[in-house]
Each structure stands twice: as C-alpha cells, then as structure tokens.
Amino acid sequence: MEWSFLLVQALSGLASASSLFVIASGLTIVFGVTRIVNFAHGSFYMLGAYVAVTLVPWLLEFDRSPWLFFAGVLVSAVVVGLFGVLMEVTLLRRIYRVPELFQLLATFGVVLIVQDLVLLAWGPVDIPGPRAPGLRHGVYILDQRFPAYELFLIFVGPAVLALLWLLMHRTRFGVLIRAATQDREMVGALGVNQAMLFTGTLFLGAALAGLGGALQIPRVSANPQMDLSVITEAFVVTVIGGMGSVPGAFLAALLIGQLQAFGVLVFPKITLVLVFLLMAAVLVVKPWGLLGRPEAAAGRAVLPEGILDPRPLDLAGKLLAAVALLGVLALPLLDAYAVKVGTEVLVLALAAFSLNFLVGNGGIVSFGHAAYFGLGAYGAGLLVTRAGLPMEPALVAAPIVGGASAALFGFFVVRLSGIYLAMLTLAFAQIAYAVVFQWVEVTGGDNGLVGVWPSAWAASREAYHYLTAAVTVAAIVFLRRVIHAPFGATLRAARDSAQRADAIGVDVRMHRWLGFTLAGAAAGLAGGLYAFSKGSIDPTLLGIPLSVDFLSMILLGGIQSVLGSIAGAAAFHAVKDFFMPLTDHWRLFLGLSIIAMVLIFPRGLAGAWASLRGRAA
C-alpha cells in the first residue's frame, strides 16, 4: 500500500474522530456533573442537524459566504442548547431526588418523543444540507484528493477541546463543573446553586451535541435515524475515555477514528463491533476508562437504591397477587388476541424480574440484559431448527445457554461497578449481537431463523399460554425466594457496601458472579419461551432497544420493590400495545406515557402502591 493512501486514510480517521469528540464531550460533561446517562444526547445531535439544514440554507440565500454558514451552525448549536435547558427545567429538575437510574428512563422517553416530533416537523424524507461555501472542493495531498471540509473538521476537535479547557480552568462555571464532577454532594454542601449549575451543564452538553450534528450537514443528510446511529458510539467514546473526562473523550475519539479508518481495510465486515471489542478490552484492563477516576462516592455509605428490606406480602399484597394470577388464568375467556398479549406479558415479566434481581437486589445495573434473553432464544431455536429436537428439551436448554453466557461475560463484568459495569454489559451484549448477526451459516444472520414452533400439545394459543404461565410463575416464585433467602441478603450487603461485606467474610465477587449467572439463566428461559411464542428468532432479540425496554419496565415498576417489575412489564407492554394500532406516532405517545409515569410515580408503580398502603416501600 502506498504511503499517500495511508496518510489520507489517517486524515479521514482524524476527521471522524473530531466529529465524534464534539458530540461525546457534551455527553461526558453532562454525565460528570449530573450523573445522568443521557440517552437523549443522540436526539440533540439529530436536532442540531435538522435545525441547521433549515437555518443555514436560509442564511445562505442572503450571501453565500463561509461566515454565514458557520454563524448558522453556531446558532443551531445554541438553539439545541436551549432544547437541553427545556428538558432540564421541565423534566429532569423534577426528578433529581429519585434514584439516578430513573432519569435514564425519562431521557429514553424524550428520545421516543423527539423521534416522532422530528417526523412531524420535517417529514420522513432525508434532507440534504448545503455544502460549506469555500470548502466544497477537494485538496490534493500528494496524489490523493481529500475534502477540504474534512481538513477543516480535523481542526474543530482540538479547537473545541481548547475552548472547553479554557472554560473549565478560567471561569467560575468551569470550576464548578469540575468540582461537581469530582464530588457532587460536597459542591451542594458548600452552598452552590445546583439548579443553575445543572441547567448550565445541560445547555452546554446539548449545545455540543447540536454543534456536532450541525457540523455534519455538508457530509450527511439530516435523517430520522441519526439519533440512534450516534448515541452508542458516543457512549463508547465517553466510557473508553473515562466518564466525565473531556481529555479522555478526546483520546478515545482519536483511537476509535483511526480504528475505523484502518479497520475497514482489514475487517470490512465487523467495523461496528471493533469499537465494542476495544471498549471491553479497555474496561477489563482499566476499569475506569483511560483517563477516568474511581467515583468519589464509591467508598462512601450512601442510601442504596433498590430493594431494602423484602418482607412477606401483607394481606392486600396477597390479594393483589391472587387477582393478577386469576386474571392471567382467565384470559382465554376474553379473546384469542388477549391470550397472545398475556403470554408476551408473562415472558417479559420474567425477563424484567430477572433484571431487577440484578439491579434492585444486587446493585448490578445491566444495560445488556437482552443478550441473555436473546441467547436463550437462540439456544432453544437452534436446537429446534438445526438439531431437530422438539420443544421440551429446547426449553430446558434455553436457561442453560443464557446462564452459561452470563457466567462467561459476568466473570469480567462483576469486577467493575457503577456505570462502567453497565457499559461493559452493553459491550458484551453488542459483541454477542455481532456474533449472531455475522455468523450467517449457523444463525441465519439478520434474517434470523423461522420454524421455532411449540410441540403439538402446546400449539394452540391457550395451551401455550398456560405452559408459559406455569413456567414463568414458577421461575418468578423461585427468584423471589432467592431474594428472601440468605443469598439474596448477601447480594444486598455487597451492593450497599462491598468493603463491609468483604470485611465480614463475604466473597463479594463470587456472590455477584453467581447472581449474574442466575439472572442470565432466568432471562434465557424467558427468551426460549418468547421464541416459541413467535415462531422465529432474529438478532433484534439481543439488541440494545430490547435491553432498554427491560430497563424501562423495571424502572416503571419500581426497582426498590421485589414484585414491582412484573407490574412494570405489564404496564409497559400494555401501553405499547394500546397505542401501536391507533396511530403511526405510537412512539410519541409511548414516550409521553413514560414521562407521565415518571412524573406521577417517581418511585415506580410499586412505590405508588406502597404509599397508597400508607407505608414506605
């Protein structure tokens, strides 16, 4: 290969790195100060592009000058920053007192709403932006032609980094941001106006995302899928760099940009998973990212978020559980479709319950729980379609596959904590997704495999419903029993203070690993049941969207409650099933419903039930 080509390829990598850094820097600053895992960051990026493709051509009508182009880009960034302020003031500010994870759910609601609002405002057709005046041409570098605009982009990243450094070290606002990133409680205790600080941070973060989107318009058309295409990569950059570290994000973006530019030459098919492999490798070696630091609060005793003191059900609780169970059993009296939806709710309830076993009881937040669900489904489905086994042994295999893969990934996962742990679960889930997606000969690739139907005796909707009910209820009762048993209490102890648990002789890592494996097995069982209810398996069963759905279910239900996630699964699925037939804009209504529930029941449905019963959850 020629040197000139390698040089140009490296420059392409630098240009991508620069764009990625601008976006990721906003995400990392917002996380550092507010501890919010802001899923809506990708939506701000998309809004930046849409505002810019509207505003910039209008400005260029006056004069095709580069200055007007860049003025338009900056104004777009400011406009998006104001959207960020709007989200902070109307939504996030109201829920700072509830568990930090809950804000994640709220931002996920915002993602859904923005997706549909963008469709309503700008229509479904991709909108190409104008090229930057004066930077339309290609520049010759040795014998290769390289776009002038990308040459310019290479310098934007370092410029933004320098400006952020000045802001962080030369202004009072920047000092406060750094202080809050190090120790938020201390900043609050010293009397800093946190509301102003958070609003300002959200403005800065959203404006950076908007800037990132607006700068892309000469390269890509504004399209309604932009938000999700950028958000995972932005997360990867912030995690590799260390959450909250702006220089770390810069370093990580450089790494990823070059990895992709040269990765396409060597592995043209797996560029997407390369970044996740890198993230997994970095986290296994450096648990806080390249330039991140251990969380200041890591060793401090804080009020834990999750199940505190599981008690036996009181009379009202028993009645409620009995009514729910009777309802499930009586569904076939309604109609065939209600049975179908009921079966799905049962499966999702088991998956959500297994996730809350980790999150609520173990303090292990998994962003990739769908991996075990999906691998269980694949384990069962492959046995049926490839090995020709009937349903029964396949359903036995599902939890084994889910548990085994959870044991494998969990071995690395439980060494970490907090957000880094969550991100490592996400990385492993994406790696599993990529394997299933690429291994076409065995898994059928993204088309998946069909023909995963139940045995003859369970083929009718009703019979399969009762089978699912029996299996899921038994599994949930078993997991609940584990939560109440000493093993569950040990997990809670490890969650509340790993050091103290360690001091009294608990093998924290071993217990968390066993817990992770058990939850994976339960999710795998749910996945197996799901595959037979649908007749097919495909990679969406392992995807990030399904993982996010599971998280939404347990948060809606209330992570501090043992049984709340069941109600959360039922509510989430019911809302989706209610709006989907009604309108194309069901995502808008699903998002609005999520936000309404976040605001009305800030401790989840189970929390609302508990306060109705007049006692703390």
Partner 1 sequence: MPRFSLSRRALGATGLALLARPGLAQPAPIRIGELNSYARMAAFAVPYRNAMQLAQDAVNAAGGVMGGRRIEFVFRDDGSTPGDAVRVAEELLTRENVAFIAGTFLSNVGLAVADFANQRKRLFLATEPLTDAITMAQGNRYTWRVRPSTFMQTKMLVEAIRGRNVKRWAIVAPNYEYGQSAAANFKRLLPGAIPGAEIVAEQFPALGRVDAGATVGALGASRPDGIFNVLFGADLTAFVREGNTRGLFERRTVVSLLTGEPEYMIPLGEETPEGWIVTGYPWEQVETPPAHKAYVDAYRARFNDTPRKGSLLGYVTVQIIANLLNKANSLDNEALIDALADLRTDTVVGPVTMRGLDHQGTLGTWVGETTLRGRQGTMKNARYADGADYLFPEDEVRAARRSA
Q: Kindly identify the residues of this chain, within the stretch 241-300, that bind partner 1 according to CB under 8 A.
A: 260-261, 264-265, 268-269, 271-272
**Shortest distance in whole angstroms from residue 576 CB to partner 1:** 8
**Shortest distance in whole angstroms from residue 280 CB to partner 1:** 18
Name residues whose C-beta falls within 8 Å of residue 607's C-beta, 6 or more positions apart in sequence.
Answer: 558, 560, 561, 564, 601, 617
Whose Cβ is closer to partner 1: residue 263's or residue 402's? Answer: 263
Q: How many residues bind partner 1 (CB under 8 A)?
A: 75
**Shortest distance in whole angstroms from residue 15 CB to partner 1:** 6
Whose Cβ is closer to partner 1: residue 339's or residue 605's? Answer: 339
390 lines the binding site for partner 1 (CB under 8 A) = no
448 lines the binding site for partner 1 (CB under 8 A) = yes
User: Which residue in 536, 592, 599, 602 binds partner 1 (CB under 8 A)?
Assistant: 536
**Shortest distance in whole angstroms from residue 236 CB to partner 1:** 12
The CA distance from 407 to 515, in Å, is: 9
**Shortest distance in whole angstroms from residue 532 CB to partner 1:** 11
User: Which residue in 66, 124, 158, 393 binds partner 1 (CB under 8 A)?
Assistant: 124
Contact region with partner 1 (CB under 8 A), list: 279-287, 413-421, 540-548, 594-602:
540-548
**Shortest distance in whole angstroms from residue 465 CB to partner 1:** 13
Whose Cβ is closer to partner 1: residue 137's or residue 170's? Answer: 137
Contact region with partner 1 (CB under 8 A), list: 35-43, 145-153, 276-284, 365-373:
145-153
446 lines the binding site for partner 1 (CB under 8 A) = yes
User: Which residue in 48, 109, 147, 292 binds partner 1 (CB under 8 A)?
Assistant: 147
DSSP string computed for 353-410: HHHHIIIIIH----S-THHHHHHHHHHHHHHHHTS---HHHHHHHHHHHHHHHHHHHH
Q: What tokens does 196 get?
A: 């102003």
Q: Which of 412, 448, 423 is nearest to 541 (CA)?
A: 448
With contact defined as beta carbons under 8 Å apart, do 27 and 209 qualify? yes
How many degrees, rounded to 5, is the angle at CA 189 between CA 164 and CA 246? 20
With contact defined as beta carbons under 8 Å apart, do 226 and 62 qualify? no
User: Which residue in 150, 184, 240, 420 binds partner 1 (CB under 8 A)?
Assistant: 150
15 lines the binding site for partner 1 (CB under 8 A) = yes
User: Which residue in 65, 171, 193, 225 binds partner 1 (CB under 8 A)?
Assistant: 225
Whose Cβ is closer to partner 1: residue 146's or residue 487's? Answer: 146
Subset of 336-365 contacting partner 1 (CB under 8 A):
336-337, 340-341, 344
Contact region with partner 1 (CB under 8 A), list: 66-74, 325-333, 493-501, 532-540:
532-540
**Exposed/middle/buried for 612, CB within 10 Å: 0-12, 13-18, 19+?**
exposed
Q: Which of 114, 127, 228 is nearest to 585 (CA)?
A: 114
498 lines the binding site for partner 1 (CB under 8 A) = no
Q: Which of 359, 389, 281 is nearest to 560 (CA)?
A: 359
**Shortest distance in whole angstroms from residue 409 CB to partner 1:** 22
With contact defined as beta carbons under 8 Å apart, do 283 and 420 qualify? yes
The CA distance from 242 to 249, in Å, is: 7
226 lines the binding site for partner 1 (CB under 8 A) = yes
Q: Which of 131, 118, 136 is nearest to 57 (CA)?
A: 131
User: Which residue in 65, 327, 584, 613 binds partner 1 (CB under 8 A)?
Assistant: 584
Whose Cβ is closer to partner 1: residue 124's or residue 294's? Answer: 124
The CA distance from 14 to 1, in Å, is: 19
With contact defined as beta carbons under 8 Å apart, do 561 and 317 qualify? no
440 lines the binding site for partner 1 (CB under 8 A) = yes
User: Which residue in 70, 96, 146, 173 binds partner 1 (CB under 8 A)?
Assistant: 146
**Exposed/middle/buried for 148, CB within 10 Å: 0-12, 13-18, 19+?**
middle
User: Which residue in 83, 516, 530, 601 binds partner 1 (CB under 8 A)?
Assistant: 530
The CA distance from 156 to 159, in Å, is: 5
Name residues whose C-beta falls within 8 Å of residue 561's C-beta, 6 or more positions apart in sequence.
Answer: 307, 360, 604, 606, 607, 609, 610, 617
Subset of 408-437 contacting partner 1 (CB under 8 A):
437
